[in-house]
A = this chain, B = another copy of it.
């Protein structure tokens, strides 16, 4: 029987074709958002790349040039390790390729889609390749034009040139059209401002389309610790993953496989597991079948394991975040809360930190006092898809009124979610999925910080009220003194002085200067 007509049209298409047609899924929808997304992808990539090296403080140069109406060039340069020629194509011109996907490690990027998406967006809006200039610091500079063969999801490098010169790092230049540069909440300026806030060890020089240069100096001079590559925690591993790990394991026995390939499985715990399962853990990991693996996963749930180790997670850190907030927001009051690491979906470790900044430049990015929530995941600012994000939902769930926060309180709420795998709601990585454990942790951190802020604001309000009271008393002193003098026949001046000293004593907690 011949194939029915409709099946003759059967075709395969590449992941690059898919995201070209559905580029809104990567964040390329809306002119302002699209430009910010390009910058976001390159800057995210850049900081990850520099931090791969030991002892190298990241330094970034970002420039947006206006070439015509809705036509810009984005230039991003770093002081990272540079990229060997063989890897340029895969790093910037092929989707689902990279070093990050298979790692169990905290990084900004995690998919191997973003940078190639930015190159593709430039290509489909201008027809032009992206220029890559890179050097590993060995005196040799490589320059080439990179384009993506969308149907094949492969990069092509043209106009390759090698020349001598002093450079260490990578410079990317991408032309884009149908985009718009604008200041404000969703623009590049705000994206970079927030990047610096969450990465106080980054030095950033930014040249905007009007040619204005802003230099963000480092708020801290030392590198944050490098996150360690993690092993999965037994709680939260799925049966399918467990079998996958078992097949790849070099261990001779399941028992040693569990001890070697997972975190927090000691000899004692392995023994405890053996006592609970119906099969012998001395057999080979490769011989594990689905039912046995399922039995293991169910057994893991019955055992008390230690929490995931904390050195696989590197949040911004209390001191660094305080310094960054001071430097960038110059607030009147600030508080930083870092929670203990938890796990979501049973076993993926994460940690939440929250900063509240009140007054100064906080909550005031539009020139009007208001509450401003800044979302970050692994230190990357999240500007879009606010309503679908676990952070927004947590912020909205807090009764801020209890902490004396009103609508026009000049407050910046900063939340950074750190994890070895951020559950983004989409490939565009704009918002964190609505997981119960995550929302709970963020909420608890916000409430703890909120209480501190509330104490400050209530204290401030009380002081203000007392100051008001003092002023009222002082206003009536001359009149009162006069009346008392009339009644008692005593010296008015004397009475006035006495009354003044009484008021001063009674409000001794308020300094003269605050008067």
Contact = CB atoms under 8 A, between A and B. Distances in A.
A101 interface: yes
A428 to B, nearest CB: 8
Interface stretch (A81-89, A325-333, A450-458): A81-89
Interface stretch (A14-22, A260-268, A476-484, A489-497): A14-22
A31 to B, nearest CB: 11
A100 to B, nearest CB: 9
A18 B114 CA distance: 13
B11 A125 contact: no
A423 interface: yes
Contacts of A11: 97-99, 101-102
A240 B125 contact: yes
A511 interface: no
A136 interface: yes
Given A84-B1, A97-B10, A426 B423 contact: no
Nearest to A124: B240
Nearest to A431: B388
Contact of A101 (B18, B112, B290): B18
Contact of A15 (B10, B30, B86, B96): B96
A12 to B, nearest CB: 4
A7 B84 contact: yes
A4 B426 contact: no
A328 B242 CA distance: 46
Contacts of A30: 434
Interface string A74-109: 000000010110110010001011110111000000
Given A4-B136, A24-B433, A94 B423 contact: no
A112 B6 contact: no
Given A29-B433, A425-B25, A426-B426, A239 B84 contact: no
B112 A13 contact: yes
A24 B24 CA distance: 17
B425 A243 contact: no
Contact of A10 (B6, B98, B387, B426): B98
Interface in A228-274: 238-240, 243
A513 interface: no
Contacts of A240: 123-125, 127
Nearest to A426: B426
Nearest to A290: B127
A426 to B, nearest CB: 4
B12 A96 contact: yes
A293 B435 CA distance: 47
Contacts of A99: 6-7, 9-11
Contacts of A409: none
A4 B99 CA distance: 12
A7 B94 contact: no
B290 A3 contact: no
Interface string A132-151: 00001010000000000000
A423 B15 contact: no
Nearest to A49: B6
Interface in A282-327: 290, 293-294
Given A6-B52, A99-B11, A138-B1, A25 B87 contact: no
Contacts of A424: 22, 24-25
Nearest to A127: B290
Nearest to A123: B240
A488 B121 CA distance: 93
A394 interface: no
Given A7-B99, A11-B99, A18 B127 contact: no
24 contacts: A1-B136, A3-B86, A3-B87, A7-B99, A10-B98, A10-B99, A12-B96, A12-B97, A13-B97, A13-B102, A14-B96, A15-B18, A15-B96, A18-B96, A22-B111, A22-B424, A25-B425, A25-B426, A29-B423, A30-B434, A124-B238, A125-B238, A125-B239, A127-B294
